[in-house]
Structure 1
C-alpha cells in the first residue's frame, strides 16, 4: 500500500481512538459540576453520592485519554516531518498555550477532585471540580484552534521556499481567532457535553430497568436529560454556523458534503443518498434548492460546485465525505427527537413508565460518539487534498525517509495495544457500573414503592 495512505490510516486510527475519551471527560466534567453544585446548595446526600460515583468514571476516561493522546505527538515527527516543520510555529504556540492555560489548571485541581473527598470543605472541592472542568474545556480550545488554523489559516507569513517553507505567526490572536475556530470550537464543546450526558443517561436508565438505585437514578436521569436536550438543540445553531463558515472559507468542502457538482447552480439538500462521482450524480431523497435556502434564504441562489475547482484541488473521496456528514446530521436530529420526546413524557408524568424508552437510552450512548467521529472524518477528508488548506498538500507533508513497512508494522502494534486498552477500559467501566454509586459504608436501603415499581415495569 502507498506510504502516504498508510501514514494517513495510522494517524486516523490513533486520533479516532483517542477522541473517544476527551469528549467524555469534558461532558462528565459538566455533570460533575452540576451534581456538586446541587449538593453544596441543598446538602442532599444523593447529589454527593452521584458526584463521587461519576468522578471515578471521569478519572478512568481522563487517564486513558492522556495516554492515547501522547502517541499522536510522536507521529507528527516520525510520519509527518515536512508537516511538522511547516506548522511547527503555529502548533508549538497552541500546544504551549494548552500546557500553560489548560493542562496546568486541569492537573493542578485533579488531585483535590480525586482525593479531596472528606479532606476539604465541600465548596473547596466544588472549586476544584470547576477548575478541572474548565481545564478540560481550555484544552479543547487550543487543539481545535490548531486544527482550525489548518482549515482556515490566518495571522501568519511563509518563510523559506518549497519543502523547506514554514509558516510563522505574525499575529497570535489572529491565529487563535481564525475564521473557523469559534464555530468549530462551540460545535466540539456541545458534542462533548452530549457524549457525557448520554453516558449518564445510559447508566442510570440501565439501573432503572434493573430496579436498582431507583431514587438516585431518577434524579441523575432528569438532570442529564436537561443537559442533553439543551445541547442537542444547541447543535442545530452551531452546526448551521459551521456550515455557513465552510461555504465562505472552504466551498469545495461544502460541495463535497452535499455532493454538489455543477460549477454554479442552486444546490439541493439531501436527507440521504449515494454519490456517483464518475457520473456526477447523487441518488437519494432531497429537498430541491435546500442548501441554497440554508445559506442565503433563497432556493435559487447559485452555490459553487465541485466542477468550479481544478480536479487536483477538490476532495477525492466525495461519497465518503457525503456519507459521514449525513450520518452526523441524522444522529443529531435523532438526539433532538429522542430528548424532546423524553421531556414531553416527563411533563406528562410518564417518563419512567416507558421501559422500551429506557432501553433506547441505554444504547443511545453510542450515538454522540459516532456523531463526533464521523463529523471529524467529514471535516478532515473534506479538506483534502490539503493538509493546510490552500498552502500545503497532504502528498507533500509526510516524511520522505519513512517506509511503508515501518508504518504498517507500527500500525499493527498500535492496533494490538489500543485493542487491549479498549478492553481494559470496558472492563473497568463495567466493574464500576456494576458496583453502583454507593460505597461499602453506604447503602441504598430505600425500598421500591408500589408506585415506583409500577412506573418502571410500565
Structure 2
C-alpha cells in the first residue's frame, strides 16, 4: 500500500472516530446527570429536579441516537480498511467489543424505552431503576471500549501463535497496565464535558434574562461538578502521564518536545511553547522553564527521561502534532479550573446568579470539554504511532491494501454525510437547549384534542417550530 493511501486511511478513521467519541462522552455524562436529577426528585419532591429531568431527557435521547449511528461505522472500518489488524489481533479486540454488546448495549436497550417514555406509565421505583441501568450501561460500554483501546497501547496477556494474537490471560488483557488510568481519565472527561455544557446552557438563558429556579439549579449543579472534577482530572492526568512514561516513553518525549538529555545536574526543562522540527531534531522558538519537566515527570529536580533522539527515526511519533494537541488539552483544563474557582468565589459572595461576566465565561467554555477530549484523543492515538499495537504491529502493516483513489473517495463521502447528518442533529440539540426547561410541565393539561396542537411523546418533537422560535426570540429581545 502506498504512503498516500495509508495516510488517507488513517485520516478517515480519525475523522469518523472524532465524531463518535463526542456523542458517547455526552451520553455518559448526561445519563449519570439524569440519574442524579431523578434521585433528587424522589428524595425531595422538588418539581425543579423533575422539570430538569424532562428537559435533559430529550437532549439525551437525540445524542444517544447519534452516538449509536456513529459507532456502527467504526466496526465496519475494522473489516474494510484495517483487515490485517483484524486478522492479527481480532482474537483480543473481537471478544472485547462483543462483551460490550452483550453487557452494556443490551442493558441500555432493555431499559432505554422505559426511561424515555415510562415516566407516567410505570411506578417511580421502576423508572428510577431504568435510569440507573442506562447510566450504568454507558459506563460499562466505556469500560470495554477502553479495555480494547488500552490493550493496543500496552498489550498484555497474549501470545503470538502462527502469526496471530492469542489471549492466554483475559484478566491481564482487560486490566492491562494503562487501562485503569485511561478509564478514569476518560470517565472524568465525560462528566466534565457534560457539566460544562449544562453550565453553558444555563448561562445562555441567564444572559437573556430567562431566569427561573430550574435555570439557576442547572448553573449551580454544573459549577459544583466542575469544581470537583476539573482538579481531579489534573491529578488523574499526572498519574496517567507517569504510566505513559513507563510504557510509551517515545510518546512522552514527543509531548514534551524533548530531544536529548544534557548534563545530569541540569535536569529536563519544561517546554511551554515551541515548534518541534522533526527533520532538524530541535525546537524552534522554545520557551522553557528549567527543571520543571523533571519535576513533573520524575518528581525530582534533576531526574531525566529518554529524548526522541534515543529512538530510531521510524519509531518516533509526530512531535509537532502531539506537542500542540497536548498543550491545547492542558490549557483548556487550566481554564476549566479557573471557571470552577471563579464560580465558587461568586457563590461565596452571593453573586453566582448576578455575575454576567461569569455567565459569559461559562458560555464560552461550553464546548471546551469536547475540544479537550478530542485534543487528548489525538495526543494518545497519534503519539502511539507508528504502532497500531505498541511494539507489536505497525500501522503500515495493519491497513487493507486499497488504492489512494478508493480511500479518498470514501473519505470525501464520509465528510459530506457526517456534516449533513450530525450537523443537523447538533442544530436540533441546540434548538432544544434554546427552548429551555418548562416549569411544572408535568402538571400542565395535556395538549391535543379537536382543533388543538398535538405534541407526540417523542424526543424529536420537542424543539419549537420556526414560527414559535421567532416568537420566542422576539419576546426575549423585547
Corresponding residue pairs, total: 438
Runs of 4+ in 1 over 3 A off after TM superposition: 439-444
Residue 451 of structure 1: aligned partner: none
Q: 1:146 Cα deviation (Å)?
A: 0.5
Asked if 2 retains the 8 angstrom alpha-carbon contact of 1:263 and 1:306, the reply is no
SS at match of 1:178: coil
Map Cα deviations across residues 181-226 of structure 1 (whole Å, 9 max, x no partner).
0001100001100111111111111111112252211111111111
SS at match of 1:349: coil
Asked if 2 retains the 8 angstrom alpha-carbon contact of 1:206 and 1:362, the reply is yes
Residue 453 of structure 1: aligned partner: none
Q: 1:17 Cα deviation (Å)?
A: 1.2
User: Which residue, 22, 35, 39 being the options, matches 2:24?
Assistant: 22
Residue 6 of structure 1: aligned partner: 8
Residue 413 of structure 1: aligned partner: 413
Residue 178 of structure 1: aligned partner: 176
- Structural mapping, 1:197-208, within 5 Å: 197-208=195-206
Residue 49 of structure 1: aligned partner: 51
Question: Structure 1 CA distance, aligned partners of 2:417 and 2:439?
Answer: 32
Residue 258 of structure 1: aligned partner: 256
Question: Structure 2 CA distance, aligned partners of 1:389 and 1:379?
Answer: 12
Question: Structure 2 CA distance, aligned partners of 1:284 and 1:367?
Answer: 26
SS at match of 1:154: coil
1:167 aligns with 2:182: no
Asked if 2 retains the 8 angstrom alpha-carbon contact of 1:207 and 1:214, the reply is no
Q: 1:403 Cα deviation (Å)?
A: 1.7
SS at match of 2:84: helix
Question: Structure 2 CA distance, aligned partners of 1:383 and 1:150?
Answer: 9
Asked if 2 retains the 8 angstrom alpha-carbon contact of 1:151 and 1:383, the reply is yes
Residue 122 of structure 2: aligned partner: 120
Residue 78 of structure 1: aligned partner: 80
Asked if 1 retains the 8 angstrom alpha-carbon contact of 2:158 and 2:173, the reply is yes
- Structural mapping, 1:21-170, within 5 Å: 21-160=23-162, 165-170=163-168
Gap regions ≥5 residues in structure 2: 445-478
Map Cα deviations across residues 114-171 of structure 1 (whole Å, 9 max, x no partner).
01111122232121111111100111111111111010000000012xxxx2211111
Q: 1:422 Cα deviation (Å)?
A: 2.4
Asked if 1 retains the 8 angstrom alpha-carbon contact of 2:250 and 2:316, the reply is yes
Map Cα deviations across residues 271-312 of structure 1 (whole Å, 9 max, x no partner).
333213333333333321212112332121121111111222
Asked if 2 retains the 8 angstrom alpha-carbon contact of 1:187 and 1:238, the reply is yes
Structure having greater relative contact order (Cα 8 Å, sep ≥ 6): 2
User: Which residue, 301, 311, 316 being the options, matches 1:314?
Assistant: 316
Q: TM-score, normalised by structure 1?
A: 0.92
